Structure 1
Amino acid sequence: MAELTDRKLYLGPKLRVLRRELGLNQTRMAEELGVSPSYLNHLERNQRPLTAQMLLRLANTYDIDIRDFTASPAEAGPGELSEILSDALVRDIGIARDEILEVAENYPGVSEAIARFYRALGDLRRLPGEAADRSGPAPLVAPIDWLREIIARAGNHFAELDAGAEAIAAQMSDDPALLQAELRARLKERHNMSVQVMRADVIAGSLRHYDMHRRRLMLSERLPASGRLFAIAYHLCAQELAEAIGAQVARAAPPDEDSRRLATIALTNYAAAALIMPYDRFRQAAEQNRHDIALLRDRFGVSTEQVAHRLTSLNRTGARGIPFFMAKIDRAGILSKRFDGEAWPFARYGGLCPRWDASDARLPDRVETQLIETPDGRRFVTLAMALPQGTAAGADGGRSRSVIALGCEAKHAERIVHADAIDTEKDDAIAVGPTCHVCERRDCPDRALPPVTRALDLHSYERTIAPYPFRRV
């Protein structure tokens, strides 16, 4: 707490957001905190700094984590807003960066509204022909984008589901092989559901299928042990945590039926992972073994992708893990899945930086580690792992190559065994940008597009090393 008294904290917007989330007016909150409404109003308008005493009152009254509340605003806010306002539709206005920072830091609700409108605009741009043919109103936000926003807002952590899954796991074995047998027995005894492994040609095109009439869960023989364990856990959670999952989906207020179904599936997947990898046991194993991916995978009987997913969800107050971000990248370098974490260094819209080598990982049992640096000087450690091929039931019985990449700020490197060969302070880092169309690195030889924020500076008498030379101002 001493460090907080050494600097003035102006956290008015955060205080205002907290009050609104609690459903309180200024008079009621002032009464609960033992201050006058006018003083609280001054705090919310950043006309007075928050004192250490006031922070303690907030923490004790509303059970908040002081470290989270006083943390500097995530770069994603100003970064995302800057990216949106560089769109060709509005970039001629020339909005100054200090104006963007002021809006992002002091008016997060405005930033969120602009981001939602931009996502809706992106959907409409992708559907130019369909918009005129629809008989009814078109959804303004694609279900996948809506779900990603809901998960990001929750920090990919759903406390109720973790608690419910932990309660079930406490009655089960820690051994993955025994756990699978116990989950099967529980499905049969409590829910009259049987589990049967089927030949791939019998349930062609599916990895699992639930026969509602016979109450039989059919699993493809192509599923590895980790996939079978997860499928059984998924269906058990769908039965026993249905109320908690339904309540979480209802609070998210899905805009349409597709979004509701997608959210239900995603949260049931989350619960299944929490059952197989119970929060406290998994977090302690990760910390004690310095986030050894292979060890965690083998200890809990899960896949590399499942371990990576779980590591991004360790956001419980008072027992947080490393704030990892995660990406799933196909062989063309296209992002098919993303969990932003606290410090996603790339753009929210568009592709990845071509200088990030994560998609080059080839061997499933090898972790490729890279040190990268963004234009603002922040450094990140990233871990890339190729997923095994041939484990999904495609038309040819296999799956195309894809990569799972985890990353975090370099300050966490000493807690990660895979980063031991990297000196995060002295080693050269790969210079990356958000994505080509909003990146202003002038000397990048791998640039695929010019930045939309700058005018080109082309001359017939000169060929620069970096493609698409552009003016500084």
Structure 2
Amino acid sequence: MAKTEKLLIGPRLRRLRTQLGLTQTRMAEDLGISGSYLNLMERNQRAMSAKVLLKLSETYEIDLSDLTSGTDRQLVGELFSALRDPALGKERVPKSEVEDVVGASPATARALVNLHQRHTELSRRMLRDEGADEAASTLRDSVPATDLIQDVLYRARNYFDPLDRAAEALNDRMNLRRGEPMADLRARLRSHKILVRVLPYDLLPNMLRYFDRHSGRLNLSELLPDASRRFQVAARLALLEEGDMIDRIVADAKLPNRDAERLLRTTLANYFAAALLMPYGAFLKAAEDLRYDMDALAHRFGTSAEQVAHRLTTLNRSGARGVPLFFVRLDIAGNLSKRFSQGRFVFPRFGGLCPRWAIHEAFASPDRPIVQCVEMPAPKGEKGDRYLTIARRVTRAGGTSSEPAQSFVIGLGCDMSHASRLVYSDWLTGGLSGAPMPIGPNCYLCDRDACPQRAHPPLGRDAIHDDRARGLGQFAIGKEG
């Protein structure tokens, strides 16, 4: 932070205090300052000093970037995307104003994002069914369950402390990593009067797992590799041993429909399974020792690379946090089937990903991860946020000669300030100081006018077709409408 820069973060400071349930007097005592000084900081009448900022971070175990980065970047990206909807007209709200709104009133910003989502779904339903009355009555149930679950994970920072600690405790009781994991998992499931059977794939057509409640059998397809079989058994144990805890988390989420509740329940069971097979303390230590090498961690814990990637995004325990990583999974057509944003990197809710991001190249390079430094757009004169990204192809369990297994690419990434902690930073051409690849969220939301790979103009901008010249890109972008 430059010496001349004043840190005015009053609304965020007040919001943090409220979230912690503290009075101004109590927080002032914790920080060793006067109540009047804290009051002035919350009203942006005094800047926060570096000493107070560090004390705040140490006392309440928060990331300095959460306070100093300006705003909630995930929410900024979502609101910015919503405000570019053509249905709102051609007038575009500058990103700086969006950041001001989020910084001053995040609850209002979230309400606007939710309103836009519901408007979008209502419009789709009306176009499809031509039934406005029915659409209005079912509006609350129309938001896709996957989007609702992504919001739950984001609010929890993809970490559920009671569930994670319960899984870690169960791992200790079972001595799971000291013996044969699958044998121990089967024995634990037998204590619940459930048997595990591995069946020929033709007896489980189009299925990799089927739980028969009546016979008390968990049927697994022979197409599942060992790591996936262990994971399926662990997920069933989650519902049997911690079903009440999972139900409480689902109830607290206050989801609007049964589909979303069922999906969240499955998501939490999978979370428990990963935490059971990769217990927090041991996994975090191994991740740091092995510099977040996905393959090395998969071998050490008997899991798949994708399971490791998911687990790495959950290392958010207070006082024992790992590198803040974001995660995405997409198919060869560019469809996003999973995403988790952390820090400042924001995934768009529609429109695919930037074609300049090397994540797409991983489909053609199955044997080696694709490592890249990328830079997001920024206002003129400022440097954009930079990230180390890792992409690799993975194959879903299953697959025969007649029905090949489906392939995906998973991507992990972190802010460049954390890059040296990852082994993949050693693979960067030019090292950590090398020139980054300029990318954007996607073509709908990116302001890089001269991009040679732009597929279409940004929302709310016109393309200029000039018969006198042709640039490298497909479009010349007009001024804001």
State TM-score, norm by structure 1.
0.89
3-state secondary structure, aligned to 1:407:
strand
**Corresponding position of 1:129:** 128
3-state secondary structure, aligned to 1:464:
coil
3-state secondary structure, aligned to 1:170:
helix
Q: How far apart are the structure 1 equivalents of 2:138 and 2:236?
A: 35
Q: Give, in angstroms, the shift of residue 275 of structure 1.
A: 0.4
**Corresponding position of 2:325:** 324
Aligned AA for 2:129? E
Q: How far apart are the structure 2 equivalents of 1:59 and 1:407?
A: 24
Q: Cα–Cα, structure 1 residues 469 and 58, in superposed 2: closer, same or farther, change >3 Å?
A: closer
Alpha-carbon deviations, 1:115-174, whole Å to 9, x = none? 111222232343321361748523242211111011011111111111110000112345
**Corresponding position of 2:381:** none
Question: For structure 1, which segment, 243-252 or 126-135, has the greater mean C-alpha deviation from structure 2 after superposition?
Answer: 126-135
Is 1:421 the equivalent of 2:427? yes
**In 2, are the aligned partners of 1:206 and 1:393 still within 8 Å (CA)?**
no
Aligned AA for 1:405? G
Correspondence for 1:398 among 400, 404, 429: 404
Where do residues 48-197 of structure 1 align in structure 2 (5 Å cutoff)? 48-50=46-48, 63-65=60-62, 67=64, 70-72=67-69, 73-127=71-125, 128-130=127-129, 132=131, 134=134, 136-138=137-139, 139-173=141-175, 175=177, 178-189=180-191, 191-197=192-198
Q: How far apart are the structure 2 equivalents of 1:177 and 1:384?
A: 33
Q: Give, in angstroms, the shift of residue 225 of structure 1.
A: 0.2
**In 2, are the aligned partners of 1:192 and 1:215 still within 8 Å (CA)?**
yes
3-state secondary structure, aligned to 1:446:
coil
Q: Cα–Cα, structure 1 residues 180 and 340, in superposed 2: closer, same or farther, change >3 Å?
A: same
3-state secondary structure, aligned to 1:103:
helix
**In 2, are the aligned partners of 1:325 and 1:343 still within 8 Å (CA)?**
no
**In 2, are the aligned partners of 1:458 and 1:469 still within 8 Å (CA)?**
yes
Which runs of no fewer than 5 residues in structure 2 stay unpaired? 379-383
State TM-score, norm by structure 2.
0.87
**Corresponding position of 2:451:** 444
Is 1:268 the equivalent of 2:274? no
Aligned AA for 1:440? D
Q: Give, in angstroms, the shift of residue 33 of structure 1.
A: 8.7
Aligned AA for 2:154? A
Where do residues 205-220 of structure 1 align in structure 2 (5 Å cutoff)? 205-220=206-221
**In 2, are the aligned partners of 1:410 and 1:424 still within 8 Å (CA)?**
no
Q: Give, in angstroms, the shift of residue 51 of structure 1.
A: 5.7
Alpha-carbon deviations, 1:79-129, whole Å to 9, x = none? 332222222123533434432221121211111111111222232343321
What's the RMSD between the two structures over aligned residues?
3.0
Aligned AA for 2:293? D
Q: Give, in angstroms, the shift of residue 371 of structure 1.
A: 2.1
**In 1, are the aligned partners of 2:386 and 2:415 still within 8 Å (CA)?**
yes
3-state secondary structure, aligned to 2:406:
coil
**In 2, are the aligned partners of 1:172 and 1:179 still within 8 Å (CA)?**
no
Question: For structure 1, which segment, 35-44 or 367-376, has the greater mean C-alpha deviation from structure 2 after superposition?
Answer: 35-44
Alpha-carbon deviations, 1:364-391, whole Å to 9, x = none? 44212122222233222211111136x2
**Corresponding position of 2:285:** 284
3-state secondary structure, aligned to 1:462:
coil
Q: Give, in angstroms, the shift of residue 347 of structure 1.
A: 2.9
**Corresponding position of 1:366:** 368
Q: How far apart are the structure 2 equivalents of 1:286 and 1:274?
A: 14
**In 2, are the aligned partners of 1:5 and 1:51 still within 8 Å (CA)?**
no
Which runs of no fewer than 5 residues in structure 1 stay unpaired? none
Alpha-carbon deviations, 1:345-366, whole Å to 9, x = none? 5434322111112122135442
Percent of aligned pairs sharing the same letter: 39
Q: Give, in angstroms, the shift of residue 34 of structure 1.
A: 9.8
What is the number of equivalent residue pairs in this alignment? 468
Correspondence for 2:385 among 362, 378, 383: 378
